[in-house]
A and B are shown apart, each in its own frame.
Chain A
Amino acid sequence: MELVLFILFGLLAVAGALNLLFQRHPINSALSLVVVMMSLAVLYWSLGAEFLAAAQVIVYAGAIMVLFIFVVMLLNAGEEEETHGSKIAYIAGIPGAAAIFCLLSFVFLSERSRLGSTGLGGYLSGAVSNIGEISHTLFTTLLLPFEVTSILILIAILGAVVLARKEL
């Protein structure tokens, strides 16, 4: 059951990411990125992170991708054209990415037995719920970073407003 869920949504995520890579129109890439994010939300849930699964759907698939699609429509972005610069990227980029993947998967597979495995909705600890645990840590030991985050968001809003003004 758990394995079927993982394979189903893992393949969906990889298919969405590959579709992002091969589509030439930005709106198709954006919609396939939404597929990746939704399937990652299911995988977070299967790893016992219910709060992050909800936040992934709301923040990433809901807010950030809507912003992306909004900008694609606002700028009326069409299909990207081939340029001479992208040839070098093909030659250097594909083998480089493949090499990094081989290195990472070699490390993960050699440490496979020590990393263990997960059952369906495996909880971190049975005592409290995931959301309770996160909020307890966030509002006691990590209160200052949490409050600094709100200032970061405020600065980001001001920066976005200043940058997107008509006269720059």
Chain B
Amino acid sequence: MITVPIAYYLILAAVLFCIGIAAFLIKRNVITIFMSIELMLNAVNLTFVAFAHVWRQISGQIFVFFVMVVAAAEAAVGLAIIIALFRTRRTLNVDEVDMLKN
């Protein structure tokens, strides 16, 4: 039976994390930027699960569980902020939301 090196899982997580960084920087829609944060969180979760498998420790998987909980709370609050932002500014483009700039 062919086994997969754990390093491949970690490299896949790195690929997903870097695509998340690129999407975070390039995207101009605030909802899509929020989605790329979720993508980066998922990539980190994959790293945690892979290392939990390497060290045969359950604490890595429990860490992922807590990350999921915090991500759910973060998504609820963040999307509420996006709705409030859209109500006041009538836009989802981050370049037009620069009230704190000057």
Contacts and interface: CB of A to CB of B under 8 A. Distances in A.
Mutual binders A and B: yes
Contacts, number: 258
A14 B39 CA distance: 11
A97 to B, nearest CB: 4
B50 to A, nearest CB: 6
Nearest to A80: B29
Interface in A49-84: 49, 51-52, 55-56, 59-60, 63-64, 67-68, 71-72, 74-75, 77, 80-84
Contact of B83 (A46, A85, A93, A163): A163
B65 A138 contact: yes
B6 A116 contact: yes
For chain A, the bracket of interface size reads 35 or more
B23 A124 contact: no
Nearest to B41: A60
Contact of B22 (A97, A105, A138): A97
Interface in B52-77: 52-54, 56-59, 61-62, 64-66, 68-77
B37 to A, nearest CB: 11
B71 to A, nearest CB: 7
A98 B28 CA distance: 20
B12 to A, nearest CB: 5
Chief secondary structure at chain A's binding surface: helix
A143 interface: no
A124 B39 contact: no
Given A115-B54, A118-B3, A163-B77, A59 B16 contact: no
Interface string B1-32: 11111111111101111111111011111011
Contacts of A166: 87
A108 B31 contact: no
Nearest to B24: A93
A108 B14 contact: yes
Contacts of B70: 152
